[in-house]
Chain A
C-alpha cells in the first residue's frame, strides 16, 4: 500500500470556467464515415466499441460519406433543413416574447435542432415519443401547428392544455408526442412501459424515450434500462448529451464512465453514439434503432453528442458558469450550417436561397405568432376559464372538487 493516508474527496470540474479559453481537446471525434454500419440483428457484444466512438456522416467539406450515408433524398434533406430553421426561428421569437412579458417562461433548442427534427423522420405513424422539454423539433417535423404550440406557451383561450401547464410542456397524442412533465426522467421508464404494452398487444408500433445528460443520473434512467433490457421492449432510448445540465457540466452525471452510451452496455443494450449536429447521422442512427425495435430485436440506447448553445432556459444566464464563446468552439459545429453547406455542395441549395428561406420562415412564424396572440397572451387578452382549473382532474368530478368549484364562484 503506497499512500494510505487521508482520503481525498473527488468532485469533477469542467475544463474551463468563465474567463477561460474554451477547450474541447478532450472530446475525441471520429472522422465522418469511419464508423461501420452493422446489420440490425448484430450481436450487441460485437459492437461495444460503438458506444465509445461517434457516428458521423457529414465531413468538413460538407460531403455525406461512409456506410451511414445515402438514406435521404435531396427533397427530404431540404425539408429537414426547413424544419431546423423553423424551430430556430420559433425559438428566437418565443424567447423574445418571454422577454416582452407575453409569457412567463421559455426554453430554446439552439444547436440541438438536428436531434429531434431528424429523429422524427425515422419514426412511423403511430409511434410514440416520450420527450423532455427540449425536443419540440418532434412536433415541428411532424407538422404540428405552430399556432397551437404558441397558444400553449401563451396559456391563452385557445391553449389545448387550458392554461394548466407551464409553457412548452406540450402534449399531442395525435402527433406521437407524450405529455411533458416537469419531473425529470419520469417519462423514460414510461416510454419503456408503452413499448412493453405494444409488444403485449402484438402491435407494430414502437416508443422513443428521451432524456438529457444530466437526468441520466435520475433513478428512472436506471429503471428504464432495467425494464427495457429485461423485457426486450421495442423502444429507442435516446440520451441527448448537450454537455450541460443547467450549470452542471456533464461530468457530474457521467462520472468516470467513458460515455453515456456506455451506460447501456452493462444492461446488454446495444448502444450507439452519434454526432448530434449531423442531421444525416442522427436520422440514419435513429432509423437503425427504430428498425431494430420494430423487428422485435429489442431496445437500443443512442447518445447524441451535441452542445447546448443557448441558455438553459429564459431564467438562466450561462455566462455565470461557462465561457461566453464556448459554443463557437464546439467541434461539431452548428447543425443548420452543416446541413446547409451539404445541400449547397449537392447543388440543390445556395446562400441566396437560404437567406430567402430564412425570411420566408420568419414571416410564417410571425404570422403564426400574430394569430396566437389574437387569442391572448399570459397577461393580456383571452385566457382559459377559472372553471377549467377544476375540470379534467378525474374523468368525473368528485364531490369535494365540485364544492370547491362552487366556493370559487365558477
Chain B
C-alpha cells in the first residue's frame, strides 16, 4: 500500500471527492494556483479547473459565509482557513449560521460544508499559529468536530466529512503534516513513510465520524487524546512503562462515548490530554462524562494534562507544549493515587 504524508492524504481525499462528485468545490486563501501554504490543495486547480478550486480574498467570514450560501444552493464546499488561529472572523458564520441552518429552517435549507483548518502547536508558531480552538466548536450545537492524527485517518475522515450532510470542522494538526511527533523535539522527526499509519489506500474509503480508535491496548489507565497528543501519550506510556490504553478520539463531536466508557470501566483510571488551554477546554467535558458514566469504577481522580491557561508563547514553546514528561508524570500520579 502506498505511504503518504498527512498533507498528501488530505489532498488525496479532496481529489477523490472532487472526482466522484462535481458538487464538491475547494477554496480558500492561496488554495488555488499555489496549492495552499501547506501544499494540501496542490494540483487540484490544474486538474479540476478554476470553477472547482480557487483562491479567495483574505476574508474568513467571507470564505465561510459564501460556502454556506453555496451549500444552500446545493454544492458541497470544502473550504480552508489558513490557520485555526484565524477562524475567529468566521465564528459568527460558523456558529450562528452553518451550525443552525438545518435546525432553524426545519430542513428547508442545509449546510453540508467542511471547514479545514491547520491547528495545534509544537512548531514555534507563537500566539497565532499554534492555537487549538476545538472547545469553541464542540460547544456549538449543530457542528461536528474532527481531529485526525495520521494520514490514513486524515483521508478517510475528510472524505467522510465531505460526504456528511452537516457542517464539519476539520482540524488538521500541522505538527503531524510531515510525520508523527511525540513531543521529543530534541530528536529528529521520522517521516510518515516509516510509520504504518502512513499507509493510505488509493481511491475512495471512509473512516466514520463519531468513532474513536484504540491506539495502544492497556489495562492500567485510559488515556483520552487526539491529534499530536496521541503520540505524546504513546511515548509517555513507553517511557514510564505504564500499561496505558490510549484512545485516539478522532471525532470530538459526536463523541464515541461507548469506547471511552468501556475502557475506563476496565482500567479504573483516566488521564485526559490536549494541547489546548486547560480551563473550559474540551478535557473538562471528557472528565465530566467519565465521572458521570464511570464513577463507581474509578479508583483515582481523573487527571488532565493540557496547555497552560496562557496565550501560546514563542520562546517557551517546550515549557508550554504538554510533552511526554508531563504526561508521564500524570500517568504515574494517577496510578499512585
Contact = CB atoms under 8 A, between A and B. Distances in A.
Interface stretch (B242-250, B251-259, B263-271): B251-259
B155 to A, nearest CB: 22
A201 B254 CA distance: 32
B142 interface: yes
A196 B71 CA distance: 11
B61 A219 contact: yes
Given A186-B65, A193-B69, A197-B69, A395 B110 contact: yes
Contact of B96 (A183, A224, A393): A183
Contacts of B165: 394-395
Nearest to B101: A179
Nearest to A200: B51
Interface string B292-332: 00000000000000000000000000000000000000000
Nearest to A388: B106
A191 B69 contact: yes
Contacts of A183: 92, 96-97
B62 interface: yes
A223 B62 contact: yes
Interface residues of A, number: 47
A237 to B, nearest CB: 13
B203 interface: no
A178 interface: yes
Interface string A204-232: 00010000000000011011101100100
A398 B254 contact: yes
Interface string B64-92: 01111110111101000000000001001
Contact of B254 (A188, A197, A400): A400
Given A183-B97, A186-B65, A191-B69, A400 B75 contact: no
Interface string A230-271: 100000000000000000000000000000000000000000
B38 to A, nearest CB: 23
A164 B65 contact: no
Interface string B43-74: 00000000110001101011001111110111
A189 B105 contact: no
Given A181-B96, A190-B97, A230-B57, A392 B75 contact: no
Interface string B153-170: 000000000001110000
Interface of A: 128, 130, 160-162, 164-165, 169, 171-173, 178-179, 181-183, 186, 188-201, 207, 219-220, 222-224, 226-227, 230, 392-395, 398-400
17 contacts: A160-B106, A161-B104, A164-B103, A169-B104, A173-B108, A186-B96, A186-B97, A188-B65, A189-B62, A189-B65, A193-B73, A194-B69, A220-B62, A220-B65, A227-B62, A395-B166, A400-B257
The 4 closest A-B pairs by CB, nearest first: A193-B69, A193-B66, A189-B65, A223-B62
Given A171-B105, A189-B69, A230-B57, 12 more contacts: A160-B108, A161-B106, A179-B108, A182-B96, A189-B93, A190-B69, A193-B65, A193-B67, A220-B65, A224-B65, A227-B66, A394-B142
